[in-house]
Structure 1
Amino acid sequence: MKKKIQFSLVYRDMWQSSGKYQPRKDQLACIAPVIIEMGCFSRVETNGGAFEQVNLLAGENPNDAVRAFCKPFNEVGIKTHMLDRGLNALRMYPVPSDVRRLMYKVKHAQGVDITRIFCGLNDVRNIVPSIKWAKEGGMIPQATLCITNSPVHTVEYYTAIADKFVEAGAPEICLKDMAGIGQPAFLGKLTKAIKERHPEVIIEYHGHSGPGLSMASILEVCNNGADIIDTAIEPLSWGKVHPDIISVQSMLKNEGFDVPEINMNAYMKARSLTQGFIDEWLGYFINPANKHMSSLLLGCGLPGGMMGSMMADLGGIQRSINSILKGKGEAELSIDDMLVKLFDEVAYVWPRVGFPPLVTPFSQYVKNISLMNLLTLAQGKGRFVMMDDSMWGMILGKSGRIPGTIDPVLVALAEKQGRKFVDADPQSYYPDALDSFKEEMKKNNWDFGQDDEELFELAMHPEQYRDYKSGAAKKRFLSDLQKAKDAKLGTSLTPQQLTEFKHAKADAIVAHVKGQIYWEFNGDGECAASVEPYIGQEYKEGDNFCYIQAPWGEFVSVKADLGGKLVEINAKQGSKVQKGQVIAYIERNHE
């Protein structure tokens, strides 16, 4: 029998590559014991890049979610891991070094064992400090190679970086094939080269299914010394996500590897629970296209996880370009025409900006440059006209060294605009900032949290955390969820049918007298005009819904009747209503 292969379940990435949001704390705590019961996973990805931001956007506390999800795995010895974007840590833009250092202490205290540290440019300067800080915080640092195909990304290129990771103290290396375009034979050679130089280092392979190479790649890396394989489970496996554990286990078992058995009863439970999370609310934010594989991804190299947002962006550019074409009397372009044009433009732009591996945030930058080029070309203005500071920051070296050579046209354009190329340590542009966040916490009388986790959350995601604390995030999320539900329902119903369907499930809140609408009273006993209800707001039976100031001056209370969820508001703050007029509709919880 061949060597033992372990499996990791990338539960966070399954959702991240499918849609916008993550399961709630209660859902994660519910499925964790079932994942354990499956018996085939030695590791589970519990949090990391974007996980905390999307929790905050949903009005949820990500620290509570991480602790609740990690705890069951910690108790049985299954290692937990997170995704760490190096210089960007858990967000899309650079993070001060003192905040990065705090992250590892917080995450270790919350129960996260391993941090997978990557830099989209494979710049060692963005990863080596994190290896040191992770060890200081009690975590295992897994240094990452972002895999792509270009003339500069050779086996020698990657093994030289791996040498530096090991020298810096990384006991593990991840081959992060984020777009799934890594050629199987190449990945096998790279795995063998690293293992021959560093036989004691653990190698974990992470490959998305998008263009269809992942199963062949898994077989190649395992036959050349890989130790751990990232996998997914239905109903989110395959598509733009990861191969399913059942297929991977079967293939490797047939190849003669020592692999764990799968408790299929538990698998079906986990599958059912995950589908339940989709049906309840997460499915409203999943792009159906992310369930499909596409060979087109091989040509452009874009990661599957960003396809949903890319298609939305492409639709907007399509409308603008078609408006220009229509004005010229030329044939308009279909979305398929636009997709081919975009992929061709990415293939044009990518080498000219120096072959940055197309992973967050550089995949977004290259895609955005290409989209803007399509528009400005249609306008007759040429290429590279509409580029923001983030795109230029990548090109100029502010995020790290570009692996290839910047095109002379862009070099000349930068000089013309007074922009300078740099090669300093990227972290040097982002000074320590933790003290200012401590002052903000104190000023607002906010609890620093267990192990300073709330301080960390503010420092890592300041805008989202402030909205979370104020309640604005929850209101916005519930409104977005209702809109998403209505939009999905509305695909098969006319507006009138949609309204009738919604009203059939809800109670009408009716004005008992005519007058002016007010929502609630303030602390002085006066009617407050500033607080309005939001779609999705919950009411208990008999709760007050609003007040009507009658013509004779009296404030009449309007009750929420049987209670439930607010699904429609028909009267604005301060508006006049007539007796018998419907103010709103509340959907009963028991239905």
Structure 2
Amino acid sequence: MKKRIQFSLVYRDMWQSSGKFQPRKDQLERIAPVIIDMGCFARVETNGGAFEQVNLLAGENPNAAVRAFCKPFNEVGIKTHMLDRGLNALRMYPVPDDVRRLMYRVKHAQGVDIPRIFCGLNDVRNIIPSIKWAAEAGMTPQGTLCITTSPIHTVEYYSNIADQLIEAGAPEICLKDMAGIGQPAMLGALTKAIKTKHPDIIIQYHGHSGPGLSMASILEVCNNGADIIDTAIEPLSWGKVHPDIISVQSMLKNEGFDVPEINMNAYMQARSLTQEFIDEWLGYFINPANKHMSSLLLGCGLPGGMMGSMMADMGGIRNVINGILRGKGEKELSMDDMLVKLFDEVAYVWPRVGYPPLVTPFSQYVKNIALMNLLTLTQGKGRFVMMDDSMWGMILGKSGKVPGTIDPELIALAEKQGRKFTDDDPHTLLPDALDGFREEMQKNGWEAGPDDEELFELAMHPEQYRNYKSGQAKKNFLVDLQKAKDARLGSQLTPEQLAALKHAKADAIVAPLGGHLYYEFGGASECAPCLEPFIGQHYKEGDTFCYIQAKWGEIVPVPSDLGGKLVEVTARQGANVRRGDILGWIERDKD
């Protein structure tokens, strides 16, 4: 018999790759014992990137959820692990050193054993400090390689990074195939190269199912020395998520590996509970497209976890583009036309911005550049016109060094705009911040919590935590949930029934979230000094009024509600708006 292979259940990532929110604390407490009863998991992913932020957005305390979910696994010796975005820690933008250092102390105290530390650029400067801080806190740091397929992402490239992470103290290496486009043969060769040089290093493989290569990749890495495989369970396995534990176990068992047996009664119970969570409320925020696999992902390399938000972004921009095409008397684009154009544009942009592995947040940045390029090309303005500071930060080196070289066109554009490239270690560019957050907590009379976990939460997710403490987050969440329920109900009603459900007409267009504001008034430049000429423009119900680019990269269309005539614009193009800000006023058409 071949070597023993262990399995990990990526319960957090199952949800993130399917929809917006995570299960509540009480739901996690219910399913944890059932996962244990399945008897096949040596590890469970309990929290990490996005988990805590979306819990706050739902008005839930993530610290309580993490402690409750980890506790039963800790008691039976199942290791828990979390996703850690290196320089970005648990959010989409950089985190100061003192906040990152505190994170490992907090997470260890909460019962998390292993942080999976990655950098979207594979820049070891963003990973090595975290390896040291995690070890100091008593955790087992797992150095991570973000896998993609490009001319520069070779076995030698990745092996060199693994050598540096192991030398820095990482006893484990994760091959994070976040888009599932890693070629099986390359992954097998990489696994063998690391194991040959470092036979005692544990290798864990994490591969999404999106384009359909994951099962072949699992077989290759196992045959070349991998130790642990990430898996999912129905009803959230496959699609853009991960292969199901039953199929993975069957394949490896038939190959002659020593694998644990699955308690199928417990599997069916976990499956039923997960479906119950979906039916209760989480399913309202799951994009049905994320349940499907697509070989188109091989060409663009975008991760499956962001496909839902990408389709929403693309739909909004398509409406604007089609409006421009109609004005020119040209053929409009279908969603399929738009999808192919976007994937082709990603393929154009990606090498020119230095081949960053397409994982959060860089997948969002590259996708957004490509999407904005399609818009500005249609307007006749050319490419790389609408890029914010986050996109430029990736290009300029503020987030780390990109693996490839930046295109001369972008270098010249940066120089023209007075932007400076940097080789500085990214984490040295950020001043410590904890003292300021301590003062804020004291001023508000907030407790720092056990092991300073509440202080950490404020410092990691300031905006979301403040909304959570004020109760605004819960109110916003309940409104969003009701809208989602109404939308699903509306799809089942006649037009007359749907009209009867509409609430009173409102004139103010309000920002649903914070971020940078973009208008598209008849092709107006983002630098338009004055928007008054567009007063009087008419909107139909549901038309897009503007777009807000969130801090985490998602481009969210803001609807014009019930439509009417634009009478005032109260926020400038490119403004940094907050949730709840009034963006403009629309005079309703008379019935």
d(CA) in 2 for partners of 1:8, 1:468:
31
In structure 2, give the amino acid aligned to 1:129: P
Instruction: Give how far 1:500 is off.
Output: 7.3
Q: Deviations over 1:131-177 (max 9, x none)?
A: 00001111110000000011111100000000001100000000000
In structure 2, give the amino acid aligned to 1:43: R
Q: In structure 2, list runs of 5 or more residues that go unmatched.
A: 504-591
* 2:481 maps to 1:481: yes
Report the counterpart of residue 227 of structure 2 in structure 1: 227
Report the counterpart of residue 173 of structure 2 in structure 1: 173
Report the counterpart of residue 577 of structure 1 in structure 2: none
Which structure is larger by alpha-carbon Rg, 1 or 2? 1
Instruction: Give how far 1:492 is off.
Output: 1.8
Report the counterpart of residue 421 of structure 2 in structure 1: 421
Instruction: Give how far 1:260 is off.
Output: 0.1
In structure 2, give the amino acid aligned to 1:315: G
Report the counterpart of residue 40 of structure 1 in structure 2: 40
d(CA) in 1 for partners of 2:341, 2:70:
44
Report the counterpart of residue 465 of structure 1 in structure 2: 465
Report the counterpart of residue 209 of structure 1 in structure 2: 209
Instruction: Give how far 1:209 is off.
Output: 0.1
User: Mapping of 1:248-397 within 5 angstroms?
Assistant: 248-397=248-397
For residue 42 of structure 1, give the secondary structure of its aligned residue in structure 2: strand
d(CA) in 2 for partners of 1:431, 1:206:
33
Q: In structure 1, list runs of 5 or more residues that go unmatched.
A: 504-591
d(CA) in 2 for partners of 1:138, 1:179:
31
d(CA) in 2 for partners of 1:432, 1:495:
56
User: Mapping of 1:93-104 within 5 angstroms?
Assistant: 93-104=93-104
Report the counterpart of residue 577 of structure 2 in structure 1: none
Q: Deviations over 1:305-328 (max 9, x none)?
A: 000000000011101110011001
In structure 2, give the amino acid aligned to 1:252: L
d(CA) in 2 for partners of 1:259, 1:500:
57
Instruction: Give how far 1:496 is off.
Output: 3.7
d(CA) in 1 for partners of 2:454, 2:415:
43
For residue 141 of structure 2, give the secondary structure of its aligned residue in structure 1: strand
Report the counterpart of residue 193 of structure 1 in structure 2: 193
Report the counterpart of residue 537 of structure 1 in structure 2: none
Name the % identity. 86
d(CA) in 2 for partners of 1:330, 1:424:
48
For residue 140 of structure 1, give the secondary structure of its aligned residue in structure 2: coil
User: Mapping of 1:560-571 within 5 angstroms?
Assistant: none
Aligned residues: 503
In structure 2, give the amino acid aligned to 1:480: D
d(CA) in 2 for partners of 1:160, 1:332:
48
* 2:490 maps to 1:490: yes
* 2:6 maps to 1:3: no
Q: Deviations over 1:256-306 (max 9, x none)?
A: 000000000000000000000000000000000000000000000000000
For residue 195 of structure 1, give the secondary structure of its aligned residue in structure 2: helix
Report the counterpart of residue 92 of structure 1 in structure 2: 92
Specify whether residues 344 and 502 from structure 1 end up closer, same or farther in structure 2 by C-alpha distance, changes over 3 A only. closer
Report the counterpart of residue 60 of structure 2 in structure 1: 60
* 2:182 maps to 1:182: yes
In structure 1, give the amino acid aligned to 2:240: K
TM-score normalized with structure 2 length: 0.84
Report the counterpart of residue 570 of structure 2 in structure 1: none
Let me know the Cα RMSD of the aligned residues.
Answer: 1.1
d(CA) in 2 for partners of 1:342, 1:499:
35
Instruction: Give how far 1:429 is off.
Output: 1.2
Q: Deviations over 1:101-133 (max 9, x none)?
A: 000000000000000000000000000000000
For residue 204 of structure 1, give the secondary structure of its aligned residue in structure 2: strand
Instruction: Give how far 1:217 is off.
Output: 0.1
* 2:215 maps to 1:218: no
d(CA) in 1 for partners of 2:454, 2:502:
39
Report the counterpart of residue 127 of structure 1 in structure 2: 127
Report the counterpart of residue 161 of structure 2 in structure 1: 161
d(CA) in 2 for partners of 1:169, 1:468:
37
TM-score normalized with structure 1 length: 0.84
Q: Deviations over 1:34-89 (max 9, x none)?
A: 00000000000000000000000000000000000000000000000000000000
Report the counterpart of residue 398 of structure 1 in structure 2: 398
Report the counterpart of residue 150 of structure 1 in structure 2: 150
Report the counterpart of residue 14 of structure 2 in structure 1: 14
Q: Deviations over 1:351-391 (max 9, x none)?
A: 00000000000000000000000000000000001111100
For residue 204 of structure 2, give the secondary structure of its aligned residue in structure 1: strand
Q: Deviations over 1:493-526 (max 9, x none)?
A: 12543577999xxxxxxxxxxxxxxxxxxxxxxx
